[in-house]
Amino acid sequence: MKAFKKIIFLLPLIYFLTSCQKVIEFNGPVTDPIVVVNSLVTPNAVVKVVLSKSRFFLSNDTAFTMIDTATVSLYVNGVMKETLNHTSNGTFLSIYKPVVGDSIGLLVQVPGKNTIQCSTSILPQVPVVSIDTATVLTGLNNPLINVSVPSNGGLPVIDTIGTTIGRKMKLILKFNDDTNKQNFYRLVVYIKTYTSIKVTNNYTFSFDDIVSGNTSNDTIGPPTSLASNKFNVFNDDLFNGKQYALKFSVDDNKDSYLSGKSPLVVKKELYIDLQSISRNYYLYLQTRSNARNNSFFSEPVQVYTNIDGGIGILGSYTSNVTKIVL
């Protein structure tokens, strides 16, 4: 009897849930594609501009249409420098390599579209004072296994060649902030691992310093992470004009090999890149991060753009890279 009552109770609920599904047809105007400009400039590297067309949000297309027919003019400090050369797949390249202090402008003309303008400035390097490290063991201790396949096509050979030990590197990066203006930063950290057959980059690190606003220990870049600040950007609101000690950490494994066994890893290097980024690039990455974290019940987040006559981003970054051999 109790089971029967439960069935009677569930029937209206099932009907209610299934009846909530309703297909609503979109009756609004279908907007024409907008020109999308994407370009990040950095000192001593040629200017690269990628042009594409925006995609209607209800479109079934999975790929963007690239724009190969356009005139892209590069302006340096207000003076026309050159017309960029089209290579392929919507990509246009310059010959000129910007330097610190340059004001970079683009004038983009696509047949049948409005003239597009945008600009940014090349900032100086962040003055890094020091990087301090401390390593602690995480308790991970597993056998290190090597699997090789015989050249004659026989069964794989499994061999224990050593032990892998887990460790966490805690780092403090001290740098000086310019007191004369608001500054914007991005932290990029990765481990480059060299083996006898390939080189791989692992961008996983933990960035939970108070300036990051992260609420999770899981960050991954570039360009995304699992934390609230996906692109690891921050500004100097909390330390304007002062020296700041930025805290972050990296998880890594240390391999210990048995006597007579050949190492799988030839070399490991930790790269720490504290970038000085333009305000427009900061706002673009910040709003992109917020848009990706947006839930179904939240208000939509509009991604920042500084492209006049189109959408996208023209931003700049200047790296200060420190390498640590592990």
Tens of pLDDT, residue by residue over 268-306, are 999 999 999 999 999 999 998 887 665 444 456 789 999
Q: Tell me how far apart the alpha carbons of residues 237 and 279 are, in angstroms, rounded to a whole number.
A: 13
pLDDT at residue 293, as a whole number:
62
Contact call for residues 192 and 199 (beta carbons, < 8 A): yes
Q: What percent of the chain stands above pLDDT 70?
A: 81
Q: Tell me how far apart the alpha carbons of residues 230 and 284 are, in angstroms, rounded to a whole number.
A: 12
Check residue 206 and report its DSSP letter: B
- The Cα-based distances of 26 to 14, 29, 59, 62, 168 in angstroms read 28, 9, 12, 19, 52
Best-predicted range by mean pLDDT among 92-106, 149-163, 250-264, 294-308? 92-106
pLDDT at residue 5, as a whole number:
47
Average pLDDT, integer, range 240-269: 91
pLDDT at residue 223, as a whole number:
38
Q: What is the mean pLDDT of the chain?
A: 85
pLDDT at residue 310, as a whole number:
95
Cα maximum dimension of the chain: 87
- The Cα-based distances of 87 to 52, 72, 326 in angstroms read 14, 12, 39
Q: Where are the beta strands (DSSP E) in 59-198?
A: 71-76, 79-83, 85-86, 91-93, 103-109, 116-121, 128-148, 157-176, 184-195
The yes-or-no verdict on residue 233 having pLDDT over 90 is yes
At residue 62's C-alpha, the angle toward residues 58 and 66, to 5°, is 105
The yes-or-no verdict on residue 264 having pLDDT over 60 is yes
Burial of residue 277 (CB within 10 Å: 0-12, 13-18, 19+) is: buried
Q: Tell me how far apart the alpha carbons of residues 91 and 231 are, in angstroms, rounded to a whole number.
A: 24
Give 112-138 pLDDT, tens digit per residue. 999 999 999 999 999 999 999 999 988
Give 8-57 pLDDT, tens digit per residue. 445 555 555 555 555 555 455 556 789 999 999 999 999 999 999 987 65
Burial of residue 150 (CB within 10 Å: 0-12, 13-18, 19+) is: exposed
Q: Tell me how far apart the alpha carbons of residues 315 and 309 are, in angstroms, rounded to a whole number.
A: 16
How far is CA 292 from its chain centroid? 12
The b/e string for 94-108 (b: 16+ C-beta within 10 A; e otherwise) is beeebeeebebbbbb
Give 166-190 pLDDT, tens digit per residue. 999 999 999 999 999 999 999 999 9
- The Cα-based distances of 120 to 49, 86, 262 in angstroms read 13, 22, 50
- The strand order across the sheet containing 79-83 reads 79-83, 71-76, 103-109, 116-121
Domains and CATH numbers, the chain: 35-121 (2.60.40), 130-136+164-253+262-305+315-325 (2.60.40)
